[in-house]
Amino acid sequence: MNGLIFPGQGSQIVGMGKELYEKLPNAAVLPDRANQVLGYDLKKLMFEGAQEQLTDTRYAQPAIYTCSAMYLEKIKSDGLLYDYVAGHSLGEYDALLAAGVFNFETGLKLVSARGEAMSQMNGKGTMAAVMGLKEEELIQYLNSDVVMANLNSKTQIVISGTEAGVDAVGHKLAGKDWVKFKKLRVSAAFHSPQMARAAEIMKGVIENTELKKPVCSVICNVTGKPTTDLAEIKTNLIAQITGQVRWYDTILAMKNAGVSRLYEVGYGDVLKKMNKTITFRPKCVGLVI
């Protein structure tokens, strides 16, 4: 049984998707369709940069969504069948595209709105990766301004919160040789209560968007459990903005469902590398272009 997984923000890089654009006609049409929806030249930004603009949340999210949608066309052209889909944070929108919950243009409009809403929080927080502590161990070092945002594996957790709050956690962990603490290059405290305003904005957008029942099981970030219930998917998609990315649970849910092979559908191999830290994971492979 096959599962598809889609990367999130942070996987953007100038040139992503260009090889597919040049080789696969069904994928090549998507950046042009994106340009029409967005009203700016996303294709040029993806293929030529500048990297600084591509890193901006407002542009990064539509670019990553479009790039992963191009890779999804490769999956389709190869005739690969799949029963489960999931995406890391932003990647959940590509997972829903793969599940037939919406078409490319509808998903792009949602992602563009999400990027705009979340960019309003720029400069109001930060995130850091903590490696070497389990969830129940890390919690004692947190403070009221910091939450666990991404549970990527048993001992790889991303925290999110105010600049001062995250720095305070780093100071508490300093000197512990078995723990690695690394602040991330992000513009805001994603997947934390600081995203409440963005979640409020997206609640209205998502609730007013027509979605279709998925054709396969979707594993949502905030639960780490598979579902085909459309109402639940909508609720979880809204909650995801301030809630956790339970990636460890997601991969275990894939395994428990009988998925033996995962395909990372998008540019790079960030999820493949991340999954190597999860015990008893299904084998994760990339796509041959």
pLDDT digits (tens, 9 = 90+) for 38-94: 999 999 999 998 888 988 889 999 999 999 999 999 999 999 999 999 999 999 999
State whether 75 and 202 are in the same domain.
yes
State whether 105 and 137 are in the same domain.
no
Which residue range is the domain that position 81 belongs to?
2-121+192-285
State whether 114 and 134 are in the same domain.
no
State whether 259 and 150 are in the same domain.
no
98 vs 167: CA distance, rounded Å: 39
State whether 213 and 276 are in the same domain.
yes
Q: What contacts 206, CB < 8 A, 6 or more positions away? A: 110, 234, 237, 238
108 vs 123: CA distance, rounded Å: 25
Sequence-ordered strand ranges (E) for the chain: 2-6, 84-87, 126-131, 146-153, 156-161, 180-183, 217-219, 226-227, 261-264, 283-285
Which residue in 175, 203, 42, 195 sits closest to 127, CA to CA?
A: 195
Average pLDDT over residues 101-124: 93
State whether 24 and 146 are in the same domain.
no
Residue positions counted in the chain: 289
Average pLDDT, the chain: 93
Which residue in 156, 159, 180 sits closest to 281, CA to CA?
A: 156
Q: For residues 127 and 186, is the Cβ–Cβ distance under 8 A?
A: yes
Average pLDDT over residues 255-281: 88
* Domain end call among 183, 210, 227: 183
Residue 187, pLDDT above cutoff 90: no
Q: What is the CATH number of the domain that holds 166?
A: 3.30.70.250
State whether 163 and 209 are in the same domain.
no
Active site amino acids? 89, 191
Q: What is the CATH number of the domain that holds 65?
A: 3.40.366.10
User: pLDDT at position 136, please?
Assistant: 96
224 vs 227: CA distance, rounded Å: 10
User: pLDDT at position 280, please?
Assistant: 63
User: pLDDT at position 279, please?
Assistant: 64
Average pLDDT over residues 248-270: 93
DSSP state of 123: T
240 vs 236: CA distance, rounded Å: 6
218 vs 225: CA distance, rounded Å: 8
Residue 11, pLDDT above cutoff 90: no
State whether 6 and 145 are in the same domain.
no
**CA–CA–CA angle 169, 275, 77 (5° rounding):** 135
State whether 112 and 208 are in the same domain.
yes
154 vs 76: CA distance, rounded Å: 33
- Using alpha carbons, list the distances in angstroms from residue 15 to 174, 238, 288: 38, 31, 17
The number of distinct structural domains making up the chain is 2
State whether 56 and 178 are in the same domain.
no
Distance of CA 277 to the CA centre of its chain: 18
For the entire predicted model, the pTM comes to 0.94
